[in-house]
Amino acid sequence: MRAPAETFDRARRLRREMTLPEVLLWRALRRKAVDGLRFRRQRPTGACVLDFYLPSARLAIELDGRAHDMGENPARDARRDAWLAGRGVRVLRIPAADVLDEVRREGVLRLIAEEARHRPPPSAARTPPP
């Protein structure tokens, strides 16, 4: 899913300005630390920037802070998730507070590893964007 140049620029900026929950989760995911899986951070996809993405499982991981529950944000997130689902990408939304808590973070990593085991069928992985 090719992204516009503006999305790539935004992704680069977001990589430099990661939030504390993003930094903590990235430290746990990077260098194949979770089941040998290779995640990408701040991945441009269409007009979206995914917090974390596992290409082999077509799995997006989104960290949601309190702002995601306010105003138009829940509806926007639902539209975005539906758009990604239409392209064969599953979205796992995780509360940022769960990543900040060391005990709950371990549960988050187990959940991510479990979700990563559910690989898409080969035909879904090759579905080109519209």
Coil, helix or strand for 99?
helix
Task: Note the pLDDT of residue 126.
Answer: 46
Higher pLDDT, 114 or 8: 114
Task: Note the pLDDT of residue 119.
Answer: 72
Q: Is the pTM of this model over 0.85?
A: no
32 DSSP assignment:
T
Instruction: Indicate whether 94 pLDDT > 90.
Output: yes
Beta bridge partners of 48: 45
Cα separations in angstroms, 14 against 41, 42, 82, 113, 124: 9, 7, 23, 24, 29
| 130 band by pLDDT with thresholds 50, 70 and 90 | very low
Task: Note the pLDDT of residue 116.
Answer: 92
Least confident of 61-65, 69-73, 76-80: 69-73
- Hey, what domains does the chain have and what are their CATH numbers? 5-116 (3.40.960.10)
**pLDDT tens, residue by residue, 14-68:** 889 999 999 999 999 998 888 899 999 999 998 899 999 999 999 999 999 877 5
